[in-house]
Amino acid sequence: MATGRTLPHVIVFANEKGGTGKSTTAVHVAIALQARGSRVAAFDLDHRQRTMTRYFENRVATEKRSGRDLPTPRFAAHDGESLPRFSEALEQLSRDMDFLVIDTPGRDDRFGRMAATRADTLVTPMNDSFVDFDLIGQVDPDTYKVTRPSFYAELIWDARKAKAKSDGVAMDWVVLRNRLQHIEARNMRRVSEALGQLAKRVGFRIIPGLGERVIYRELFPKGLTMIDSRDFGDMGLAHVAARQELREMMAALALPEPALPLFA
């Protein structure tokens, strides 16, 4: 019997290499969606680092200390072991939500793979280096031309096929280029060209992400994001630039919500 229940749009942040700004980006996306009026839940699958969970816990603590109302998603963390707990958490977090944001570990992980098969939007953050590019594809060392997709790209390809088979919905795979401004120009161009070649072969979109800015690390202890400008006093140029990066990234993700202002 049909219940008429609408499932949330699932956004999975996945990269088997650490240090790409994956958790920071996932937190900013979740809070940006919450701030614009969407109902958002977040699920942290990295039971070792728990960066997303700690970020939200810091945010809740700041809210209690300051008495301010900070838009915060419903959130939970997985233990990394229990399949029943994984399934139960997914069910509870999906209930009455518009979006479910899932942060996966920066390594090969059973539950991360399972989450990928449920993604409507799968986001793979990467820095502009061939060390990070190697996760999704291999290049000729002399010409820098793409020679073949990587094992990880093949995993995502299989996840997309499984998603399409299970519910008839196509997965949008997005490669998010973080920290662009600190990369040497020639290397950036070569990585960009290789990404373009591989995108045509395996079908992902490429969008700009968040820069390498001290402000993102400074906001973590209070659980604040670039949306919470009223809570960190005077804004410098770095704050303004970071807020613009976030706006552009959210627009490029093209998530299925009305184009409402993210923040004042």
For position 228, what pLDDT does the model report? 84
CATH class of the domain at 9-253: alpha beta
Band of pLDDT at residue 263, cut at 50, 70 and 90: low
Band of pLDDT at residue 2, cut at 50, 70 and 90: very low
Can you give the C-alpha Rg of the chain in angstroms?
A: 18
φ, ψ (nearest 5 deg) of residue 66: -90, -20
What's the token pair of residue 131?
């060390």
Band of pLDDT at residue 184, cut at 50, 70 and 90: low
Rounded distance between C-alpha atoms, residue 133 and residue 187, angstroms: 12
Is this model's pTM higher than 0.85 or not? Answer: yes
Query: Each residue of 179-205: b (16+ CB within 10 Å) or e?
Result: bbeebeeeebebbeebbeebbeebebe
Average pLDDT score, the chain: 87
pLDDT digits (tens, 9 = 90+) for 157-170: 888 888 888 888 88
